[in-house]
Amino acid sequence: MTVRVGVIGTGNIGTSHARDLASRVAGATVTALYDADAGKSAALAAELGAVSLPTYEDVIASDRVDAVLVASPDNVHAEQALACLSTGKPTLCEKPLAPVEADARAVVDAEVAVGRRLIMMGFMRRFDPGYVELKSQLGPEGIGDPLIVRNCHRNEIAPYGLDSELSLTNAAIHEIDINRWLVDDEYAWVQVLTGRSGPLTPEEQHDPLFVLLQTTAGTLVEIEMFVQSQLGYEVTCNVTAGLGVAEMGDGSYVTTARARHRGHGLPAQWLGRFQEAYRLQLQGWITHLVTGGPMPGASAWDGFVDSLVANRAIDSLRTGERVEITLPERPALYA
Protein backbone atom coordinates (compact mmCIF):
# COMPACT_ATOMS: atom_id res chain seq x y z
CA MET A 1 0.00 0.00 0.00
CA THR A 2 1.23 3.49 -0.84
CA VAL A 3 -0.02 6.41 1.28
CA ARG A 4 -0.85 9.39 -0.93
CA VAL A 5 -0.01 12.54 1.04
CA GLY A 6 -1.35 16.05 0.50
CA VAL A 7 0.88 18.85 1.80
CA ILE A 8 -0.45 22.20 3.08
CA GLY A 9 2.26 24.85 3.22
CA THR A 10 5.29 24.48 0.94
CA GLY A 11 7.76 26.86 2.58
CA ASN A 12 11.03 25.82 4.20
CA ILE A 13 9.90 22.76 6.15
CA GLY A 14 6.92 21.80 3.96
CA THR A 15 9.20 21.54 0.93
CA SER A 16 11.72 19.45 2.87
CA HIS A 17 8.98 17.10 4.13
CA ALA A 18 7.42 16.78 0.66
CA ARG A 19 10.78 15.91 -0.92
CA ASP A 20 11.49 13.37 1.84
CA LEU A 21 8.07 11.76 1.38
CA ALA A 22 8.54 11.61 -2.38
CA SER A 23 12.01 10.08 -2.38
CA ARG A 24 13.37 9.04 1.04
CA VAL A 25 10.35 7.51 2.81
CA ALA A 26 9.13 4.01 1.89
CA GLY A 27 5.40 3.61 1.24
CA ALA A 28 4.61 7.27 0.55
CA THR A 29 3.97 9.52 -2.39
CA VAL A 30 3.00 13.19 -2.61
CA THR A 31 -0.04 13.83 -4.78
CA ALA A 32 -1.40 17.31 -3.97
CA LEU A 33 -0.05 20.57 -2.57
CA TYR A 34 -1.37 23.93 -1.45
CA ASP A 35 0.44 27.09 -0.43
CA ALA A 36 -0.96 30.60 0.05
CA ASP A 37 1.71 31.54 -2.49
CA ALA A 38 0.44 29.53 -5.48
CA GLY A 39 3.72 29.96 -7.35
CA LYS A 40 5.57 28.05 -4.63
CA SER A 41 3.22 25.06 -4.55
CA ALA A 42 3.04 24.98 -8.37
CA ALA A 43 6.85 24.80 -8.66
CA LEU A 44 7.08 21.99 -6.10
CA ALA A 45 4.14 20.17 -7.69
CA ALA A 46 5.96 20.23 -11.05
CA GLU A 47 9.12 18.87 -9.40
CA LEU A 48 7.31 16.03 -7.61
CA GLY A 49 4.71 15.13 -10.26
CA ALA A 50 1.87 16.29 -8.01
CA VAL A 51 -0.94 18.81 -8.48
CA SER A 52 -1.16 22.25 -6.91
CA LEU A 53 -4.71 22.98 -5.73
CA PRO A 54 -6.37 26.38 -5.17
CA THR A 55 -7.33 25.96 -1.47
CA TYR A 56 -6.20 23.88 1.49
CA GLU A 57 -9.73 22.49 1.76
CA ASP A 58 -9.29 21.09 -1.78
CA VAL A 59 -6.17 19.21 -0.66
CA ILE A 60 -7.94 17.71 2.36
CA ALA A 61 -11.02 16.73 0.34
CA SER A 62 -9.13 15.42 -2.70
CA ASP A 63 -9.76 11.78 -3.58
CA ARG A 64 -6.05 11.63 -4.52
CA VAL A 65 -5.15 12.25 -0.86
CA ASP A 66 -5.18 9.61 1.91
CA ALA A 67 -3.33 11.62 4.58
CA VAL A 68 -2.41 15.26 5.13
CA LEU A 69 0.75 17.03 6.24
CA VAL A 70 0.20 20.53 7.67
CA ALA A 71 3.29 22.76 7.37
CA SER A 72 1.67 26.19 7.20
CA PRO A 73 2.37 29.04 9.69
CA ASP A 74 1.70 28.40 13.40
CA ASN A 75 -1.51 30.42 13.65
CA VAL A 76 -3.45 28.32 11.08
CA HIS A 77 -2.45 24.82 12.27
CA ALA A 78 -5.49 24.38 14.53
CA GLU A 79 -8.01 25.53 11.88
CA GLN A 80 -6.45 23.20 9.28
CA ALA A 81 -6.15 20.28 11.74
CA LEU A 82 -9.87 20.67 12.54
CA ALA A 83 -10.66 20.55 8.81
CA CYS A 84 -8.61 17.34 8.49
CA LEU A 85 -10.43 15.79 11.46
CA SER A 86 -13.80 16.57 9.85
CA THR A 87 -12.87 14.28 6.92
CA GLY A 88 -11.31 11.55 9.10
CA LYS A 89 -7.97 11.77 7.24
CA PRO A 90 -4.82 11.10 9.30
CA THR A 91 -2.70 14.21 9.71
CA LEU A 92 0.87 15.06 10.59
CA CYS A 93 0.73 18.60 11.97
CA GLU A 94 3.84 20.71 12.37
CA LYS A 95 4.45 22.23 15.78
CA PRO A 96 2.94 24.02 17.58
CA LEU A 97 -0.60 22.63 17.54
CA ALA A 98 -1.55 26.26 18.22
CA PRO A 99 0.12 29.32 19.77
CA VAL A 100 -3.00 29.81 21.93
CA GLU A 101 -3.86 26.97 24.30
CA ALA A 102 -7.66 27.26 23.77
CA ASP A 103 -7.21 26.65 20.02
CA ALA A 104 -5.11 23.56 20.74
CA ARG A 105 -7.75 22.32 23.19
CA ALA A 106 -10.43 22.67 20.48
CA VAL A 107 -8.45 20.22 18.31
CA VAL A 108 -8.18 17.71 21.17
CA ASP A 109 -11.94 18.02 21.82
CA ALA A 110 -12.71 17.45 18.13
CA GLU A 111 -10.43 14.39 17.99
CA VAL A 112 -12.04 12.98 21.14
CA ALA A 113 -15.45 13.51 19.48
CA VAL A 114 -14.23 11.55 16.42
CA GLY A 115 -13.06 8.83 18.85
CA ARG A 116 -9.85 7.97 16.94
CA ARG A 117 -6.33 9.32 17.18
CA LEU A 118 -5.79 10.86 13.76
CA ILE A 119 -3.33 13.66 14.50
CA MET A 120 0.39 13.19 15.07
CA MET A 121 2.45 16.24 15.97
CA GLY A 122 5.70 17.16 14.22
CA PHE A 123 7.85 17.16 17.36
CA MET A 124 10.59 15.36 15.45
CA ARG A 125 13.18 15.46 18.23
CA ARG A 126 11.44 12.36 19.64
CA PHE A 127 12.91 10.56 16.57
CA ASP A 128 16.38 12.12 16.72
CA PRO A 129 19.08 9.47 17.34
CA GLY A 130 20.79 11.81 19.85
CA TYR A 131 17.72 12.30 22.03
CA VAL A 132 16.74 8.61 21.69
CA GLU A 133 20.21 7.58 22.91
CA LEU A 134 20.07 10.13 25.75
CA LYS A 135 16.69 8.78 26.94
CA SER A 136 18.00 5.21 26.79
CA GLN A 137 20.73 6.14 29.32
CA LEU A 138 18.20 7.15 32.00
CA GLY A 139 16.41 4.99 34.55
CA PRO A 140 17.35 2.09 36.84
CA GLU A 141 19.37 0.24 34.16
CA GLY A 142 21.33 3.39 33.35
CA ILE A 143 22.35 6.52 35.24
CA GLY A 144 19.23 6.64 37.40
CA ASP A 145 16.50 9.22 37.79
CA PRO A 146 17.02 12.60 36.07
CA LEU A 147 17.64 15.40 38.58
CA ILE A 148 18.59 18.36 36.37
CA VAL A 149 18.25 18.77 32.57
CA ARG A 150 20.14 21.61 30.92
CA ASN A 151 19.08 22.66 27.43
CA CYS A 152 20.47 25.22 24.99
CA HIS A 153 18.51 26.19 21.87
CA ARG A 154 20.29 28.77 19.75
CA ASN A 155 19.33 30.08 16.32
CA GLU A 156 21.66 32.10 14.14
CA ILE A 157 18.95 34.71 13.48
CA ALA A 158 15.33 34.81 14.66
CA PRO A 159 13.65 32.80 11.88
CA TYR A 160 10.25 34.49 12.12
CA GLY A 161 11.32 37.85 13.60
CA LEU A 162 12.37 38.63 17.17
CA ASP A 163 9.37 38.38 19.48
CA SER A 164 9.96 36.98 22.98
CA GLU A 165 6.50 35.38 23.23
CA LEU A 166 7.03 33.71 19.84
CA SER A 167 10.35 32.39 21.17
CA LEU A 168 8.29 30.46 23.73
CA THR A 169 5.35 29.24 21.59
CA ASN A 170 7.38 28.51 18.44
CA ALA A 171 10.93 27.63 19.53
CA ALA A 172 11.21 26.75 23.25
CA ILE A 173 8.12 24.57 22.74
CA HIS A 174 10.55 22.00 21.27
CA GLU A 175 12.31 21.81 24.66
CA ILE A 176 8.98 21.88 26.51
CA ASP A 177 7.93 18.80 24.52
CA ILE A 178 11.20 16.86 24.43
CA ASN A 179 11.89 17.23 28.15
CA ARG A 180 8.39 15.91 29.05
CA TRP A 181 9.18 12.93 26.82
CA LEU A 182 12.76 12.54 28.07
CA VAL A 183 11.95 12.42 31.80
CA ASP A 184 8.45 10.96 31.32
CA ASP A 185 6.79 13.49 33.59
CA GLU A 186 4.64 16.64 33.47
CA TYR A 187 5.64 20.10 34.66
CA ALA A 188 4.49 21.58 37.98
CA TRP A 189 5.62 25.18 37.45
CA VAL A 190 7.52 27.48 35.10
CA GLN A 191 9.44 30.71 35.51
CA VAL A 192 10.91 32.77 32.69
CA LEU A 193 13.84 35.00 33.60
CA THR A 194 15.08 37.85 31.45
CA GLY A 195 18.40 39.63 31.78
CA ARG A 196 20.94 41.37 29.65
CA SER A 197 20.02 40.97 25.99
CA GLY A 198 22.15 40.27 22.94
CA PRO A 199 23.18 43.14 20.62
CA LEU A 200 20.44 42.54 18.03
CA THR A 201 17.53 42.59 20.51
CA PRO A 202 15.02 45.44 20.09
CA GLU A 203 14.35 47.56 23.20
CA GLU A 204 11.00 46.00 24.14
CA GLN A 205 12.05 42.35 23.56
CA HIS A 206 14.19 39.88 25.52
CA ASP A 207 16.72 37.49 24.00
CA PRO A 208 18.07 35.20 25.37
CA LEU A 209 15.34 33.92 27.66
CA PHE A 210 16.11 31.66 30.59
CA VAL A 211 13.23 29.25 31.21
CA LEU A 212 13.16 27.22 34.41
CA LEU A 213 10.64 24.44 34.98
CA GLN A 214 10.14 21.79 37.62
CA THR A 215 8.37 18.51 36.97
CA THR A 216 5.92 16.89 39.38
CA ALA A 217 8.69 14.47 40.50
CA GLY A 218 11.00 17.41 41.18
CA THR A 219 13.32 17.26 38.15
CA LEU A 220 14.62 20.75 37.30
CA VAL A 221 14.64 21.66 33.60
CA GLU A 222 16.45 24.77 32.40
CA ILE A 223 16.35 26.15 28.87
CA GLU A 224 18.57 28.83 27.37
CA MET A 225 16.47 30.08 24.43
CA PHE A 226 18.58 32.41 22.28
CA VAL A 227 16.99 33.03 18.87
CA GLN A 228 19.39 35.73 17.68
CA SER A 229 22.67 34.15 18.83
CA GLN A 230 24.42 34.80 15.48
CA LEU A 231 26.61 31.72 15.99
CA GLY A 232 24.61 29.23 13.91
CA TYR A 233 21.99 26.63 14.86
CA GLU A 234 22.86 24.70 18.01
CA VAL A 235 20.80 22.44 20.27
CA THR A 236 22.30 20.72 23.30
CA CYS A 237 20.82 18.69 26.14
CA ASN A 238 22.68 17.40 29.21
CA VAL A 239 21.23 15.39 32.08
CA THR A 240 22.50 15.11 35.63
CA ALA A 241 20.99 11.98 37.13
CA GLY A 242 21.26 10.17 40.45
CA LEU A 243 24.08 7.88 39.30
CA GLY A 244 25.84 9.83 36.57
CA VAL A 245 25.57 12.39 33.80
CA ALA A 246 24.71 12.08 30.08
CA GLU A 247 25.49 14.73 27.50
CA MET A 248 23.91 14.83 24.05
CA GLY A 249 26.12 17.62 22.76
CA ASP A 250 24.98 19.32 19.57
CA GLY A 251 24.87 16.34 17.22
CA SER A 252 28.29 16.96 15.68
CA TYR A 253 30.22 13.73 15.58
CA VAL A 254 33.47 14.65 13.79
CA THR A 255 35.96 17.36 14.73
CA THR A 256 38.56 18.40 12.19
CA ALA A 257 41.96 19.91 12.85
CA ARG A 258 43.42 22.20 10.21
CA ALA A 259 45.60 25.31 10.09
CA ARG A 260 46.07 25.49 13.88
CA HIS A 261 42.37 25.16 14.56
CA ARG A 262 40.44 22.15 15.87
CA GLY A 263 36.63 22.03 15.78
CA HIS A 264 33.53 21.55 13.68
CA GLY A 265 31.12 23.74 11.78
CA LEU A 266 27.57 24.58 12.86
CA PRO A 267 24.58 24.39 10.53
CA ALA A 268 22.77 27.59 9.61
CA GLN A 269 19.41 26.23 10.73
CA TRP A 270 17.43 23.19 11.87
CA LEU A 271 17.52 21.16 8.66
CA GLY A 272 21.29 20.85 9.04
CA ARG A 273 20.91 19.36 12.53
CA PHE A 274 17.64 17.42 12.39
CA GLN A 275 17.33 16.26 8.74
CA GLU A 276 17.48 12.58 9.74
CA ALA A 277 15.01 13.10 12.61
CA TYR A 278 12.53 14.63 10.15
CA ARG A 279 12.92 11.64 7.80
CA LEU A 280 12.61 9.09 10.62
CA GLN A 281 9.49 10.89 11.85
CA LEU A 282 7.90 10.77 8.40
CA GLN A 283 8.84 7.11 8.00
CA GLY A 284 7.38 6.31 11.43
CA TRP A 285 4.14 8.09 10.52
CA ILE A 286 3.79 6.35 7.15
CA THR A 287 4.65 2.91 8.60
CA HIS A 288 2.01 3.47 11.29
CA LEU A 289 -0.58 4.32 8.62
CA VAL A 290 0.34 1.31 6.47
CA THR A 291 0.51 -1.27 9.29
CA GLY A 292 -2.11 0.14 11.65
CA GLY A 293 0.45 -0.09 14.48
CA PRO A 294 0.60 2.44 17.31
CA MET A 295 1.17 6.11 16.50
CA PRO A 296 4.90 6.61 17.12
CA GLY A 297 5.12 10.37 17.78
CA ALA A 298 3.57 13.09 19.88
CA SER A 299 -0.25 13.12 20.00
CA ALA A 300 -2.68 16.03 19.78
CA TRP A 301 -2.87 15.80 23.59
CA ASP A 302 0.91 16.31 23.75
CA GLY A 303 0.50 19.25 21.38
CA PHE A 304 -2.15 20.74 23.66
CA VAL A 305 -0.08 20.24 26.85
CA ASP A 306 2.97 21.79 25.17
CA SER A 307 0.89 24.84 24.10
CA LEU A 308 -0.59 25.16 27.60
CA VAL A 309 2.90 25.12 29.18
CA ALA A 310 4.15 27.68 26.62
CA ASN A 311 1.17 29.90 27.51
CA ARG A 312 2.01 29.66 31.24
CA ALA A 313 5.60 30.59 30.31
CA ILE A 314 4.22 33.69 28.57
CA ASP A 315 2.30 34.52 31.78
CA SER A 316 5.59 34.31 33.66
CA LEU A 317 7.43 36.39 31.05
CA ARG A 318 4.79 39.13 31.45
CA THR A 319 4.73 39.14 35.27
CA GLY A 320 8.21 37.93 36.19
CA GLU A 321 6.54 35.50 38.61
CA ARG A 322 6.75 31.74 38.91
CA VAL A 323 3.52 30.26 37.46
CA GLU A 324 1.92 26.99 38.55
CA ILE A 325 0.95 24.55 35.79
CA THR A 326 -2.32 22.67 36.16
CA LEU A 327 -3.36 20.20 33.49
CA PRO A 328 -6.96 19.20 32.86
CA GLU A 329 -7.83 15.52 33.04
CA ARG A 330 -6.32 13.53 30.17
CA PRO A 331 -9.11 12.08 27.96
CA ALA A 332 -9.22 8.26 27.83
CA LEU A 333 -8.37 8.42 24.10
CA TYR A 334 -4.80 9.36 25.08
CA ALA A 335 -4.33 6.81 27.90
Gap between the Cα atoms of 12 and 76, Å rounded:
16
| Nearer to ligand NAD (CB atom), residue 60 or residue 110 | 60
| Nearer to ligand NAD (CB atom), residue 170 or residue 219 | 170
- For residues 231 and 208, the answer to whether their CB atoms sit within 8 Å is no
Gap between the Cα atoms of 333 and 98, Å rounded:
20
**Which of 217, 149, 144 has its CA nearest to residue 182?**
149
Q: Is 251 left (phi over 0), alpha (psi -120 to 50) or beta?
A: left
Least distance in Å: CB of 278 to ligand NAD?
A: 7
| Nearer to ligand NAD (CB atom), residue 44 or residue 211 | 44
- For residues 86 and 57, the answer to whether their CB atoms sit within 8 Å is no
Least distance in Å: CB of 40 to ligand NAD?
A: 5
DSSP 3-state of 309: helix
| Nearer to ligand NAD (CB atom), residue 34 or residue 226 | 34
Least distance in Å: CB of 28 to ligand NAD?
A: 18
| Nearer to ligand NAD (CB atom), residue 4 or residue 174 | 174
- For residues 301 and 166, the answer to whether their CB atoms sit within 8 Å is no
Least distance in Å: CB of 256 to ligand NAD?
A: 27
Alpha carbon dihedral 149, 154, 159, 164, in 10-degree steps, equals: 60
Query: Which residue's Cβ has the minimum distance to ligand NAD?
Result: 11
- For residues 268 and 156, the answer to whether their CB atoms sit within 8 Å is yes
| Nearer to ligand NAD (CB atom), residue 95 or residue 312 | 95
DSSP 3-state of 29: strand
| Nearer to ligand NAD (CB atom), residue 173 or residue 323 | 173
| Nearer to ligand NAD (CB atom), residue 9 or residue 208 | 9
- The sign of the torsion formed by the CA atoms of 19, 3, 94, 214 equals negative
| Nearer to ligand NAD (CB atom), residue 56 or residue 301 | 56
Least distance in Å: CB of 227 to ligand NAD?
A: 13
Least distance in Å: CB of 170 to ligand NAD?
A: 5
Least distance in Å: CB of 8 to ligand NAD?
A: 5
Environment class of residue 206 by beta-carbon count within 10 Å: exposed (0-12), middle (13-18) or buried (19+)?
buried
Quickly count helices (H) and strands (E) in the chain: 10, 16
Least distance in Å: CB of 75 to ligand NAD?
A: 8
Question: Residue 182: which H helix or E strand, with range?
Answer: helix 173-183
Least distance in Å: CB of 84 to ligand NAD?
A: 13
> Where does this chain bind ligand NAD (CB under 6 A)?
8-14, 34-37, 40, 56, 71-74, 76, 94-95, 122, 124, 170, 270
What DSSP line would sit under 274-308, residue for residue?
A: HHHHHHHHHHHHHHHHHH-----SEEHHHHHHHHH
